[in-house]
Structure 1
Amino acid sequence: MGSASSASRRHISFLRRFSIKHRLITALIVTSILPVVLVAYYANHFYEASISDKLSDFSLQVLSESAINVSRELDQYEALSESIIISRSIQGGLRQADSLSDYGKNELTKTINDELGEYAFRLSNLSNIIVLTREGEPFYDLGYEWYKDNRISRSLYGLEASVGNLKWSHLLSNRGANKIALSRIIYSEDKLTERIGYLIIVIDEKAFLRNTYDHVSLGEGGRIYIADKQGLVVSSAAPDIRLGATYMQEGLFRQLQPGEPSQSLYTKIDGKRTLVSAAHIRSTEWYMIGLIPHSYIIAEMAEVRGNLPYIWLLVVVVSAVAGTWIYQSISTPMLELLQYASRVKTGNPDPPLSVRYPDEMGKLTDTIDQMVRRLRQLIGQVEQEQQGKREAELKMLQAQINPHFLFNTLNSLKWSAMMSGNGSVEQGIESLSELLRQTILDQDELIPLEQEIGNLFHYAVIQQIRYGDSFKLRCNWQSDELGACLVPRFILQPIVENSILHGGSEDGRRVTITVEVTAAEGRLQLRIADDGRGFDVQEAQSKRHSHAKLSGIGIGNVEERIRLYAGSPYGMETRSEPGGGTETIIRLPVRRREEESDVQNRHRR
């Protein structure tokens, strides 16, 4: 908690180096721009991901439909190849190819032309129908394109390992036209394991493209092409993708998962992020691949991003204007408060602030007004107290004459009694004079015990003038050093006074009052005992008052003063019973003048 509070104070101290205006405007700008930035980032990221997912699903759906169209187109040529393979003319001619004369070959060619002519005219994008002997020599060729022998041989490569005796591949004519070739092995209808020749059906790639997916569009910058499982481009609607070669073999085709009917992924093509979607073409090992540039996907978002700086600038301007306006609503009352405080400082608080608002500044203004009114009251009170103090000092100066006059008069009476030989009156006047001197002139609350005992004997002398020898007072000390212990003044007189007034015996016997002073374990004990008639303690406690007082001090007051002076476990205890005398024990801490001075000095420090 301490470290956190210290860090908070450091942050506040740092912020207070700047004006409230700058802090307020900065806070408004930050709190205004930050949500815009976060919302823009979240919306941009979420919208981009959502559009990408939807466009990926759309492109996969389009490519899957196009792949179905391609499969249907290829199925026609596969059906044609089946018809050609089982043709009697082809079967018989290939078995007799080595023994046919030139005339026989021409007649056979006419017969085959008549049989296949119907198919050739029905399929408009058919370029060639080529039949080879089992040695790979030309046997029959219907069409208008010529091909190099090595290219024909390449189209037959791997045919034996193909699935279903079908192999589709790219083929380039002598004049550079792109073709699609379907290659098959011709087996004897009598012996299904006997190879008697090869069939190659050549399709024009442009016509094939026009009939299948040339009309399909994936948006601006989108491209579609068909590649085999090695990544060799077989057909393409994009002019920049070269047929008969691999395209982005490392960055694209090798990332596709073989056997998946459809899939999509992101990769870089020509240094640009591109969405790649691929659909497998049934009955072939080809993929129809669509390329959609990421820039097309986020084209609309790019426009929004371009507008963000203007939005941020607008937010900054609005925040600055709002911050300045709010700052003025704070600074104006603060300036008025400062001016008001300056007037109060110079002692001229008028006129007070009159405009009040329910905001924090209004509450602060009310508080300051209340404080100023309270200060006025306190100043007036202090002025009255000072005036009263001056009057009291004047009265005290006037009253200083009275004690001197009183003591001079008592001394005159004392000498008069002494001259007349009246010893009791002389002692009484002397004791009264000393007692009054201790009462009026000595203002200390704590006095030495020997002084308190002396005052007690002076009081006894005065009482003996009135009561004669009805009582006797004596004091026993455990040690003379205890006389220096400090005790509250006039704590013994009320107790002795009660013994004098109420302890007298009914038979006229003189009452002996004994004061014993002892100390043990840091405690001072004063025992006041008499052998008078005693009283009922419970009845006295219920009345709780004393019949004799000196200077307004009674028994209850003595108990309260001891409690305030010493506290627990010190105090006063009285034991008495009718006819058995009275005993009062006062317990106080042992304190001397030098110890009390040290305590007071420590309190001052």
Structure 2
Amino acid sequence: MNMNFYKMTLKKRIQLLYIFLVVLCISVTGISSYLFAARSIERNALELKQGILNKSVQVMDEHLRHIVVSSYSFMLNDTFTQVMRDVRNNNASHYYQNLSLLQTSFTQLKLVEPLIDTTFLTTPIGDFYSTKDVPNRDDGFAKECGQLVKQQGWNTMWFGSHQSQLFQAKDHVLSLLLKPIVVDNHSLSNVYMVVNMKEEAMRDILVQDLMNNSIELFLLNKNGSQVIRSTSQDVSYLTDPEFSREISRGTGGDFRYTSSQGEDMLINYSALSMNEDWVMVSVQSKSDLLSPLRKIRWLVIGIMGFCIVLALGLSNLLASALLKPLNKLRRLMVEVQSNDLDVRFRSKYDDEVSAVGYRFNRMLDQIQVLFEEVRVTERDKRRFEVKALQAQVDPHFLYNTLNTMFWKSESGEKTDVSEMIVSLSLLFRLGLNDGKDMTNVEQEIKHVEQYLQLQQQCYEDLFIYRIEVGDPSCYSVETLKILLQPLVENSILHGFRDKDELGVIVIRINRDEDMLTLEVTDNGCGMDMAEGQIREGFEGRRQGYALGNLHDRLSLYYGDAASVAFESNIDVGTTVTITIPII
């Protein structure tokens, strides 16, 4: 993947990165907005449900409290008090009379509290109930409550949904078990009152405040069992130990729960004050709660799709606009590659590409200057080389050499003539050096030796010479050609011209680390070392022609690294020292 990305054109990479950034920004914005909205809706829903749940708990508590109050009011009427006196006196003779008297009280109790379905009063002298209800004759109270009444420290006891064993009707009811109020400061034993409430009516109270069908309300024991049976199909999660632990943690709160089927639920719970073991629980599916956000999600996906299509269309225009100056610079480089150095970059922008373009213009200007300098340098090289060769084949030198060869031939000195011809041939061959500007010290010595031998033949008994090489490694050092010959020529033609005694030319070659020294010393007539005369020696006519050319060639090839030093005394001699770097 990385290799493919690197092989793409810059335009394609810009398009790809542009589309990636657009998709990334929209995705991050959309997802963040969705998550923020989802969390806000979830938090608000939990707070709203908790408020509704607390109101439902208050309503349920109020109904239960009213049932308790109505039951105790029943116990405070005179008829009930009279019956309790017979119970205390264990007088069963008035049973039917008391049963008849209590019918009005049972009827009034139902009228006061419509939630009450049946009422059952059990005593040692007999059981009392509304004659409209059909009781069981097989000791239903003992089966239903016999073990519970043996518990200590209770006055009221609540029971969730069940089928009552006290009456033959099998409808599910919720029950309240009460101990009687003390009568005439005497407590009564084995006297209990059971008030059964209609489960259906209690369910209506439970769900009466629901305004959202996606919310379910349950009245549960803290162990998860249902106090009022739910009409929902799957409520198995209510008995989950984890669920039960959550609703048992306190008197109210909320939490998130994931069912065994993987469904996320938002749970609110609140305990009843009339019976703290009963907890009202609100359950809502998170997916149902967030269902309105599906439209937002699809809207975000739609916007992302639209922006991607738009980005695909605009990316080409954007990349072309951004790369236009760069493509222009590229075309100019192609033209420069075709040796057109007159092109120049121009742009109305003042950006990084323009900065590169202007530097490109300056580079072209410098290249043109360098090309011109190279042309001038090459022209000067050729000119100075020609001058050096012209100096080497000076007509006066050739005339003397050929004239000497002629007279020696006439005199029969054929051996000398042959040697002169060989020396002249070698002189020319070494001077040409196959068209190369550079030679080595060994070849340069051979070249000047041939010249010296020819001059000795032309000017017999005029001078002698010797060549001293201090370090044998000097022979292999590369140097500019035809350096020694002009110096030797100057000694022969000018140093020994007016001198009667034998002339001596000494050539010394040494090296000092990375510098090579070529020294030519003669015992000629010498010259005045005034600055003007030295300059005239370089720039004058024939007598300084060779030395001036030598100085120019050294400057051209070595620059300031090379130097020519003169030391001369009149009637004593002259020493010329050339110092050049070893390359």
Shift in Å, 1:162: 7.6
The answer on 1:140 being equivalent to 2:128 is: yes
Letter in 1 for 2:171: A
Normalised by the length of structure 1, the TM-score is 0.63
Match for residue 68 of structure 2? Answer: 78
Specify every segment of 5 or more residues in structure 2 that has no aligned partner in the other structure, as ranges: 434-438
* Cα distance change on mapping 1:26 and 1:271 into 2, 3 Å: same
**Which of 191, 205, 212 is 1:197 aligned to?**
191
Letter in 1 for 2:214: G
Verify the 8 A CA contact 1:84 1:90 in the aligned structure 2: no
* Cα distance change on mapping 1:164 and 1:247 into 2, 3 Å: farther
Q: Distance in 2 between matches of 1:141 and 1:441?
A: 150
Shift in Å, 1:221: 3.1
Q: Distance in 2 between matches of 1:582 and 1:457?
A: 21
- Residues 174-232 of structure 1 deviation map (CA, whole Å, 9 limit, x = unaligned): 3333322111234866898873421222233344455x444211412322231223333
The answer on 1:266 being equivalent to 2:245 is: no
* Cα distance change on mapping 1:213 and 1:269 into 2, 3 Å: farther
Matches within 5 A, 1:300-339: 300-306=292-298, 311=303, 314-315=306-307, 317-322=309-314
Match for residue 184 of structure 1? Answer: 178
Tell me which moved more, 322-331 or 54-63.
Answer: 322-331
Matches within 5 A, 1:105-504: 105-109=95-99, 119-133=109-123, 138-142=126-130, 144-146=132-134, 148=136, 149-150=139-140, 153-155=143-145, 157-159=147-149, 161=151, 164-170=154-160, 171-173=162-164, 174-186=168-180, 195-210=189-204, 212-235=205-228, 239-240=231-232, 248-250=238-240, 253-264=243-254, 265-268=256-259, 273-284=264-275, 285-306=277-298, 311=303, 314-315=306-307, 317-322=309-314, 413-414=403-404, 438=427, 442-444=431-433, 446=440, 447-456=443-452, 472-475=463-466, 477=468, 488-491=481-484, 493-494=486-487, 497=490
Name the SS of the counterpart of 1:553 in structure 2. Answer: helix
Q: Distance in 2 between matches of 1:253 and 1:66?
A: 21
Q: Distance in 2 between matches of 1:337 and 1:519?
A: 52
Verify the 8 A CA contact 1:251 1:267 in the aligned structure 2: no
Q: Distance in 2 between matches of 1:254 and 1:10?
A: 58
Shift in Å, 1:297: 0.9
Q: How many residues align?
A: 533
Root-mean-square deviation (CA, aligned residues, Å) is 6.5
Match for residue 88 of structure 2? Answer: 95
Match for residue 436 of structure 2? Answer: none
Q: Distance in 2 between matches of 1:528 and 1:509?
A: 19
Verify the 8 A CA contact 1:128 1:144 in the aligned structure 2: no
Letter in 1 for 2:451: N
Name the SS of the counterpart of 1:51 in structure 2. Answer: helix
Specify every segment of 5 or more residues in structure 1 that has no aligned partner in the other structure, as ranges: 1-6, 591-598, 600-605
Q: Distance in 1 between matches of 2:170 and 2:185?
A: 39
Shift in Å, 1:449: 1.1
Q: Distance in 2 between matches of 1:151 and 1:357?
A: 104
- Residues 349-395 of structure 1 deviation map (CA, whole Å, 9 limit, x = unaligned): 9xx9xx999799x99xx99xx9xx99xx99xx9xx99xx9xxx9xxx
Name the SS of the counterpart of 1:292 in structure 2. Answer: strand
Letter in 2 for 1:73: H
Verify the 8 A CA contact 2:57 2:270 in the aligned structure 1: yes
Letter in 2 for 1:95: R
Name the SS of the counterpart of 1:182 in structure 2. Answer: strand
Q: Distance in 1 between matches of 2:258 and 2:510?
A: 108
Name the SS of the counterpart of 1:169 in structure 2. Answer: strand
Letter in 1 for 2:158: W
Verify the 8 A CA contact 1:127 1:145 in the aligned structure 2: no
Q: Distance in 2 between matches of 1:339 and 1:47?
A: 53
* Cα distance change on mapping 1:116 and 1:528 into 2, 3 Å: same
Verify the 8 A CA contact 1:494 1:555 in the aligned structure 2: no
- Residues 416-452 of structure 1 deviation map (CA, whole Å, 9 limit, x = unaligned): 766999x9xxx9xx99997899479932355341431
Q: Distance in 2 between matches of 1:585 and 1:62?
A: 114
Shift in Å, 1:560: 3.8
Q: Distance in 2 between matches of 1:123 and 1:129?
A: 12
Letter in 1 for 2:216: R
Q: Distance in 1 between matches of 2:130 and 2:566?
A: 149
- Percent identity at matched positions? 13
Shift in Å, 1:325: 6.7
Name the SS of the counterpart of 1:299 in structure 2. Answer: coil
Q: Distance in 1 between matches of 2:508 and 2:325?
A: 75
The answer on 1:11 being equivalent to 2:2 is: no
Shift in Å, 1:124: 3.0
Verify the 8 A CA contact 1:223 1:291 in the aligned structure 2: yes
Match for residue 34 of structure 2? Answer: 44
Verify the 8 A CA contact 2:218 2:282 in the aligned structure 1: yes
Verify the 8 A CA contact 1:475 1:515 in the aligned structure 2: yes
Letter in 1 for 2:431: D
Verify the 8 A CA contact 2:115 2:198 in the aligned structure 1: yes
Letter in 2 for 1:62: I
Shift in Å, 1:157: 4.6
